[in-house]
């Protein structure tokens, strides 16, 4: 079964480690998630308090 999995320790042809693309995909999926309403409300309250 090991022979079917790519060796993520070995650098690819472009010099990037094998695990880097997976980490980049995970990061991008987190960044693209919308903020929860409660967090947006908190940010709005903080912005409003700066105007005072």
Is 46 within the bounds of a domain?
yes
Residue 37 lies in a domain: yes
Nearest one of 7, 25, 27, 32 to 17, comparing CA atoms: 7
Model pTM? 0.46
Please indicate, yes or no, if residue 35 is contained in any of the structural domains.
yes
6 in Cβ contact with 18 (< 8 Å): yes
Kindly tell me if the per-residue pLDDT of 1 is higher than 60.
Answer: no
Q: Is residue 7 part of a domain?
A: no
Nearest Cα residue to 23 out of 3, 8, 34: 8
In-domain check, residue 22:
yes
- Number of folded domains that form the chain: 1
Q: 24-46, pLDDT tens digit by residue?
A: 999 999 999 999 999 999 999 99
CA distance 47 to 37: 15
Q: Which domain holds residue 42?
A: 15-50
Dig out the tokens for 25 from the structure.
Answer: 């995909």
Residue 4 confidence (pLDDT): 60
What's residue 6's pLDDT? 59
Do the domain assignments include residue 8? no
DSSP annotation of 39 reads H
């Amino acid at each position: 079964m090991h022979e079917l999995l790519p060796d993520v320790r070995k650098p690819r042809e472009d010099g990037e480690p094998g695990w880097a693309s997976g980490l980049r995909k995970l990061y991008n999926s987190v960044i693209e998630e919308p903020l929860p309403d409660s967090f947006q409300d908190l940010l709005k309250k903080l912005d409003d308090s700066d105007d005072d």
